[in-house]
Structure 1
Amino acid sequence: MAVLASKSTRIIVDENISWRLKKLLSSWDILPVNEITAQERLSDFKIWQFAKANDYSILTFDEDFWELQNLYSFPPKIIWLRIGNVNTQAIANLLLKYEESIIHFINDDNLGVYELYL
């Protein structure tokens, strides 16, 4: 698929999503949380701060990031997977299915949360 983005489409993958997603979506700029720092487990707020400072969106299953966005607005943008317990390949397939919409979401300064359902 052609790159449609005018802004960065960098995505931090929350710890509850496998780092293997990076391999399945090799054309995406994905940073698993565990690659940010090896020394400590990062709190959601520290992940939020890192994403904001480094122009990342956050891919997550957790509503915690939505709550942070309600408190502090955006960026960072949240891609919220509302899909239950599925394997990494199913997540990759879902993201690829909606890739164009996700890119448009990231580039729209008026939107902060993109929810994906199965």
Structure 2
Amino acid sequence: MKLLIDQNLSYRLVKQLQELFPGSEQVRRLGLTDRRDSAIWEYAQQHGFVILTQDEDFLDLSLLRGSPPKVILLRTGNLPSAQVADLLRTHQMMIYTTLAPESEVHCLQLA
């Protein structure tokens, strides 16, 4: 499972998460920062990403469109990148299980 990290989260997470989620990227590193959420959604869909975000608009898109892509919505407030990485590390098995391709779950919220 690879993550597309939204612009509201640091690009530094890419390096911190490579071992847990190989192939992950961040929208800024891909030149997608000036794109609408729907364009980021479509990019994630076309390239097999799960979106990692703090933006509830992706929850709305998930409810409206279903998946793919699937979404991890962080409801943690602003945290340093290391703490976000620790949160994902702690919940890695749940993330992989809950957002597996055959799962009907479209969005996972972590707090």
Q: Distance in 2 between matches of 1:13 and 1:100?
A: 19
Q: Distance in 2 between matches of 1:57 and 1:49?
A: 11
Q: Distance in 1 between matches of 2:83 and 2:108?
A: 18
Opposite residue 114 of structure 1, the aligned amino acid is L
Normalised by the length of structure 2, the TM-score is 0.90
Q: Distance in 2 between matches of 1:64 and 1:106?
A: 19
Larger radius of gyration: 1
- Regions of 4+ moved over 3 Å: none
Partner secondary structure for residue 109 of structure 2: strand
Partner secondary structure for residue 15 of structure 2: helix
Normalised by the length of structure 1, the TM-score is 0.85
Residue of structure 2 in register with 1:90 after alignment? 83
Query: Equivalent of 1:17, from 9, 28, 37?
Result: 9
% identical equivalent positions: 31
Number of residue pairs the alignment of both structures matches:
108
1:1-12, aligned counterparts within 5 Å?
9-12=1-4
Partner secondary structure for residue 34 of structure 1: coil
Partner secondary structure for residue 94 of structure 1: helix
Q: Distance in 1 between matches of 2:10 and 2:95?
A: 20
Partner secondary structure for residue 28 of structure 2: helix
5+ residue gaps, structure 2: none
Alpha-carbon deviation of 1:25? 1.8
Query: Equivalent of 1:81, from 66, 74, 77?
Result: 74
Query: Equivalent of 1:37, from 2, 22, 31?
Result: 31
Query: Equivalent of 1:61, from 30, 54, 70?
Result: 54
Alpha-carbon deviation of 1:35? 2.2
